[in-house]
Amino acid sequence: MIKNTLLPAAEFCQRRSDFITKMPANTIALISAGKEVTRSNDTEYPFCQSKNFYYLTGFNEPDAILALVKGEGVEAEQSVLFSREKDSFQEVWHGRRVGQLAAVENYQFDLCFSLAEVSEQLLPLIEGKSSVLICQQEHGVFEQQVLSWLAEIRKLARTGAKAPKSLVDCSEIIHEMRLHKSDAELDIMRQVNVISGAAHQRAMQRTSAGKFEYQIEAELLYEFASNGARYPAYGSIVAGGDNANILHYTDNDEALINGDLLLIDAGGELAGYAADITRTFPVNGQFSVEQKAIYQLVLDSQNLAISAIKPKQTFAELNRLVCNFLTQALYDLGILKGDITLLLAQNACKKYFIHGLGHWLGLDVHDVGDYHSNQQREQLRPFAPGMVMTIEPGIYIPLSDKSVDEKWRGIGVRIEDNIAVTESGFENLTVNAAKTIADIEKVMAN
């Protein structure tokens, strides 16, 4: 088992081999690790590995480079890592490094060299290939670096050296692989959901009027880290009252008010994999009549979408189901007014359901993978077993919305679960965060 990951090295090795199978013959793929990012002066943000690099290596150090080589024949396939060399001075100050010997042994690379050996060892691997595959949008700086290596090879043209003629973006190949989760990945995603669900329950139990949003955020972070998910997968949203109507609210610096709702959108990261869960609950533990009405219709719409998930289903169809349901329900409450046939035809609920129904989830919270969207922005890609997505309907009625009765204003509700597509339907990975009105009120009463 590699440190910092719950996946065996063999799984990463298999991914590299699957990736090489998809590469054109006589090419080399160069995938760059992440860089440390300065927070201020000489302090850095916690390091977050480039997810494409991590997917193919499980290697968690900055600055490394993975070279995947595909020659003309199968026998010429190689996976080679370039990484920081062991350095006792640097390691005393900044932490241990894996080094080259342990990288080969523990991560199953064919070869590993230090970064100082790039000219000597990497350029010969690039030379003579027809193209270089890179993840183009990821690291502009790395692309410049690759171009400079090609320039170095071109300088040797008189000796017969041939530089590859093109840089080809291979992000899509990795993204497609990342979209389809293995059993081992699903298992980690189950675990990070359980940890994150427990964090939401802890937040419910510790919420009371007068506390600050960041104090509830601290409860989430405590529960994540104490259970192995040391960092949150994204900035936690802890939004009391009208703050819930700011979709990516992360200021988290206001006091909670008796009678308001609290929306929490937060998930931990475990072995690189994200959970993305939202719960909305009353600060005082008891939903008001209006809060109950909005909450229940959001929950019903979420259940409608989740229960329709199965292979070959699409986000476009789930959106249609949810939009029809929410439009009718908001009309029945008197929040949407007018001709119901027209309102349904116009997807009138979008006035209050102002974001998408869900997204892919995995190593990134908004994970990679094509949605096959058409010009109308409908997401037509058929689901397949092993895909994981969020389902997160919401209704947002800001205090400033004078078009509705005052009693509805300031209510913002989102409910978000993480769902895996299975052979026969779906598996809801979000199993332990209270969600029905009765369950939430019960958790908060204890």
**What are the residues binding ligand GLY (CB under 6 A)?**
234, 265, 276, 365, 392, 416
Q: How many residues bind Mn ion (CB under 5 A)?
A: 4
Which class for 10: exposed (0-12), middle (13-18), buried (19 or more C-beta within 10 A)? exposed
Given 260, 265, 269, 367, the catalytic residue: 265
Q: Give the Å distances, CA to CA, from 427 to 139, 258, 271, 318, 359.
A: 35, 36, 21, 16, 16
Residue 234 interacts with which of Mn ion, ligand GLY, none, CB < 5 to 8 Å by class: ligand GLY
Q: Give the shortest CB-244-to-ligand GLY separation in angstroms.
A: 13
Q: Give the shortest CB-125-to-ligand GLY separation in angstroms.
A: 39
Query: 303: which strand partners?
Result: none
Known catalytic membership, residue 248: yes
Residue 263 interacts with which of ligand GLY, Mn ion, none, CB < 5 to 8 Å by class: none
Given 15, 331, 414, 417, the catalytic residue: 414
Known catalytic membership, residue 42: yes
How many other CB atoms sit within 10 Å of the CB of residue 372?
A: 13
Cβ nearer to ligand GLY, comparing 24 with 235: 235
Residue 217 interacts with which of Mn ion, ligand GLY, none, CB < 5 to 8 Å by class: none
Backbone angles phi, psi at 112, to 5 degrees: -140, 135
Known catalytic membership, residue 366: yes
417 binds Mn ion (CB under 5 A): no
Known catalytic membership, residue 414: yes
Given 54, 331, 352, 396, the catalytic residue: 396
Among 191, 201, 390, 418, binds Mn ion (CB under 5 A): 390
Q: What is the largest CA-CA distance in the chain?
A: 82
Which class for 110: exposed (0-12), middle (13-18), buried (19 or more C-beta within 10 A)? middle
Quote the tokens at residue 101. 């010997």
Given 154, 248, 372, 377, the catalytic residue: 248
Residues 6+ apart with CB under 8 A from 374: 380
As a whole number of angstroms, the distance between CA 9 and CA 281 comes to: 42
Q: Residue written as tokens 């209510």?
A: 411
242 binds Mn ion (CB under 5 A): no
61 binds Mn ion (CB under 5 A): no
Q: Give the shortest CB-276-to-ligand GLY separation in angstroms.
A: 5
Given 42, 120, 183, 423, the catalytic residue: 42
Cβ nearer to ligand GLY, comparing 127 with 392: 392
Cβ nearer to ligand GLY, comparing 348 with 357: 357
Given 55, 359, 367, 417, the catalytic residue: 359
Residue 127 interacts with which of Mn ion, ligand GLY, none, CB < 5 to 8 Å by class: none
Strand ordering across the sheet containing 166-169: 111-114, 78-83, 65-70, 27-32, 131-134, 166-169
Q: Give the Å distances, CA to CA, from 346 to 33, 301, 350, 397, 407.
A: 46, 18, 9, 19, 25
Among 265, 269, 364, 367, binds Mn ion (CB under 5 A): 265
Which class for 403: exposed (0-12), middle (13-18), buried (19 or more C-beta within 10 A)? exposed
276 binds Mn ion (CB under 5 A): yes
Which residues of this protein are in contact with Mn ion, per CB under 5 A? 265, 276, 390, 416
* Residues involved in catalysis: 42, 248, 265, 276, 355, 359, 366, 392, 396, 414, 416
